[in-house]
Amino acid sequence: MTIQDLKSHNLILFEVISGSKSFGLSTPTSDTDIKGVYYLPKAQFYGLHYMPQISNETNDEVYYELGRFVELLLKNNPNILEILASPADCILYKHPLMERLQLQDFLSKLCKDSFAGYAMTQIKKARGLNKKIVNPLPKERKSLLDFCAILNGYDSVPLSKWLMEQNLFQEQCGLINVPNAKGIYAVFYDSDTTLGYRGIIKNELSNEVSVSSIPKGAEPIGYLSCNLEGYSKYCKEYAEYWDWIEKRNEERYNTNQQHGKNYDSKNMMHTIRLLQSAEQILATGTLNIRVSNRDELLAIKAGEMEYDALLQKADDLIASIENLYTVSDLPEVPDSEKLLGVLVEMREELYR
């Protein structure tokens, strides 16, 4: 089932313009994001093909099945509450039945953890991007050999340097494990390539060293230490970094490069906005997603604030949220029994 199927079969219950345009944060280059709610035909809902969510390839159009929508509302999911709180000028279509889902019935103290938790995820993402920007990884991939060293008394020598100084080739080396010494191997050398040693690694993509059958009485020429954990960590970071390079939004990346603050400024803007929304809910018992501090938030997006200052601002908002939580009149959680009853009534009317 596709979004077009939803529209052609009149299954859409709610459709809104979301994101920056609904928040009042759009600029001339902003995309138009669409979110919505649909219901499945009766046969699909009762059958084996329940589809909780449908989106287009770019994920800028996302629709939630009615049951999934209510489930996420009960959890005070920030994105879903914001859909229900869409300003009137952003609502493209609203089925009369959607009037039964009132925002006030879902707002609860759960927002402290759902909004603040999501905001902390954004901070973590911003920090992760900070690390990628500040510490770029060369395209040429390291091999396990780069994480090996030859022991030299109380010191060690990088394996590649040792091989070059000794005029040796890794392919002619043979290794055996040193008992009770994790990651330590005795190194032997086959100068005339008659002993069939397997080399230190099989190829550049090997994720473990090779061990060989060594003739009895052969003397090692050194002892090798292999940092396999370090290599595994590097491989993970390398894959993540170049996946990010391939998929990153170039316009957003260039903005981050231009302001030179080494953090994802758009993520940080949404972090502050989410925390301010949680503060608003606990302080007023309502949620108005059209921001009143557009200039401040766009300044954050433009990278006009220092990273440490933004983290301090986030910490101050979290402290305010904690204080408001203790005095808020909101319920601890939404009245799920009442709201699930509403959901059942809506389905009964839709399937009548």
Q: Decide if 295 is inside a domain.
A: yes
What is the pTM (predicted TM-score) of this model?
Answer: 0.67
Q: What is the 3-state secondary structure (H, E, C) of 11-49?
A: CEEEEEEECHHHHCCCCCCCCCEEEEEECCCHHHHHCCC
Rounded Cα gap, residues 177 and 200, in angstroms: 12
Average pLDDT over residues 65-91: 97
What's the whole-number average pLDDT of the chain? 91
Rounded Cα gap, residues 265 and 252, in angstroms: 9
User: Domain containing 31: what range?
Assistant: 1-106+334-351
Residue found under tokens 């997603």: 289
Predicted pLDDT of residue 280: 97
Average pLDDT over residues 106-130: 81
How many CA atoms, within 13 angstroms, populate the side-chain half-sphere of residue 12?
Answer: 21
Q: Are residues 92 and 131 in the same domain?
A: no
More confident residue, 333 or 205: 333
Number of domains in the chain: 3
- 9-54: pLDDT as tens digits: 999 999 999 999 999 999 998 889 999 999 999 999 999 889 999 9
More confident residue, 265 or 301: 301
Q: Looking only at Cα atoms, what is the longest distance across the chain?
A: 88
Q: Are residues 156 and 195 in the same domain?
A: yes
More confident residue, 311 or 157: 157
CATH number where 60 lies: 3.30.460
Q: Decide if 10 is inside a domain.
A: yes
Within its chain, how far is the Cα of 175 from the centroid?
Answer: 41
Q: Decide if 56 is inside a domain.
A: yes
User: What is the per-residue DSSP string for 135-173?
Assistant: SPPPSSPP-GGGGEEEEETTEEEEHHHHHHHHT--GGGE
- 202-230: pLDDT as tens digits: 999 999 999 999 999 999 999 999 999 99
Predicted pLDDT of residue 289: 97
Rounded Cα gap, residues 330 and 104, in angstroms: 10
Residues in the chain: 352
Q: What are phi and psi of 35, to 5 degrees?
A: -125, 155
Cα-based distances in Å from 52 to 4, 292, 346: 16, 34, 17
Q: Are residues 132 and 151 in the same domain?
A: no
Q: Decide if 1 is inside a domain.
A: yes
- 81-94: pLDDT as tens digits: 999 999 999 999 99
Question: Of 184, 207, 234, at which residue does a domain stop?
Answer: 234
pLDDT at 132 over 90: no
Q: Are residues 298 and 164 in the same domain?
A: no
Q: Decide if 241 is inside a domain.
A: no
To 5 degrees, how large is the angle CA 323–CA 324–CA 329?
Answer: 140
Q: Decide if 141 is inside a domain.
A: no
Among residues 248, 287, 278, the alpha carbon closest in space to that of 264 is found at 248
Within its chain, how far is the Cα of 179 from the centroid?
Answer: 42
Neighbours of 161 (CB within 10 A): 11
Q: Model confidence at 264, in pLDDT bands (50, 70, 90)?
A: confident
Residue found under tokens 């035909």: 41
Q: Model confidence at 125, in pLDDT bands (50, 70, 90)?
A: low
- Cβ contact 306:260 at 8 Å: no
Q: Are residues 119 and 257 in the same domain?
A: yes
Q: Decide if 77 is inside a domain.
A: yes
